[in-house]
Amino acid sequence: MAAVEDNPYQPPQEAEVDAEDPRDPPLRPGLYPLDRVANVCLRLYFATTVYSVLDYLYRIFAEGGIQQSLHDSAYGSPSHWLDMLNGLASLASTVLFLIWKYRAAANARVIDPDAMKISPAMAVGGYFIPLANLLIPYRAMAGIARASGVERFWVGAWWVAYLGNWAWIIFLTVMAIDAVYAGGKLRQPTVVLYHLVMLWSVLTFYFFWQIMVRVTRAQMAPASPGEAAIPA
């Protein structure tokens, strides 16, 4: 009598997946997944950064220079449909980053509650509280990095780049509008600042990418054999 495994009439069975297969390693239990959210977020952020750099180069070489292009922008020239798509991509990237940070903060509290003092809700909500948004988001990311074993340098670099990016943009916008509505051209220092803003925005993306990738890789590291489930 033929063995069951040799029975040609037996329906095909799905192959068992080895839990130790390095192509699909098991994650540590009890943690939110971060990789997909981080991947989409950074791709969108990269796309908006590339678009901003290309727009910057276009303003310099194809629109008569920064002076004229900023003048036209200040008077509200119609936005191209690419600008609207870029705005939507930037908004989506921001939302995904907040989702990622909430999950990373929740994971950090599970991994090392002593290192993560800020709640996941406050890690995200801190961005929307005036004055507190100058400190709480940084403290939350520092706790995430500490619990995940990521160097604190990347947290500081990320936060300085983030605050500096907003400071550059606000200052340049005020200067540009003031110069245009005063009836004069932009002063040369303002034009130089515009170039620095673009360079700073590229650095900001680099540090965002570094902190997100490092935290994601640390928290999504494969579980060691026999590791007990982390209580949620």
Please indicate, yes or no, if residue 187 is contained in any of the structural domains. Answer: yes
Please indicate, yes or no, if residue 10 is contained in any of the structural domains. Answer: no
Give the mean pLDDT of the chain: 78
CA distance 180 to 148: 48
Query: At residue 99, does pLDDT exceed 60?
Result: yes
Please indicate, yes or no, if residue 2 is contained in any of the structural domains. Answer: no
- Please name the residue ranges forming H helices in the chain: 35-62, 66-74, 81-111, 120-125, 136-148, 152-181, 188-219
Question: Which residues contact residue 34 at a Cβ distance below 8 angstroms, ignoring those fewer than 6 apart?
Answer: 100, 103, 104, 107, 215, 216, 219, 220
Say what the pTM is: 0.75
Q: What confidence category does residue 92 fall into, taking pLDDT thresholds of 50, 70 and 90?
A: very high
Q: Which two tokens stand for residue 110?
A: 């599970």
Q: What is the pLDDT of residue 119?
A: 94
Lowest mean pLDDT among 34-38, 78-82, 187-191, 198-202: 187-191
Taking phi over 0 as left and psi of -120 to 50 as alpha, with beta for the rest, 58 belongs to: alpha
Please indicate, yes or no, if residue 149 is contained in any of the structural domains. Answer: yes
* Number of domains making up the chain: 1
Please indicate, yes or no, if residue 84 is contained in any of the structural domains. Answer: yes
Please indicate, yes or no, if residue 230 is contained in any of the structural domains. Answer: no
Please indicate, yes or no, if residue 171 is contained in any of the structural domains. Answer: yes
Residue with the larger pLDDT of the pair 24 and 163: 163
Please indicate, yes or no, if residue 229 is contained in any of the structural domains. Answer: no
Domain that holds residue 49: 32-219
CA distance 185 to 66: 10
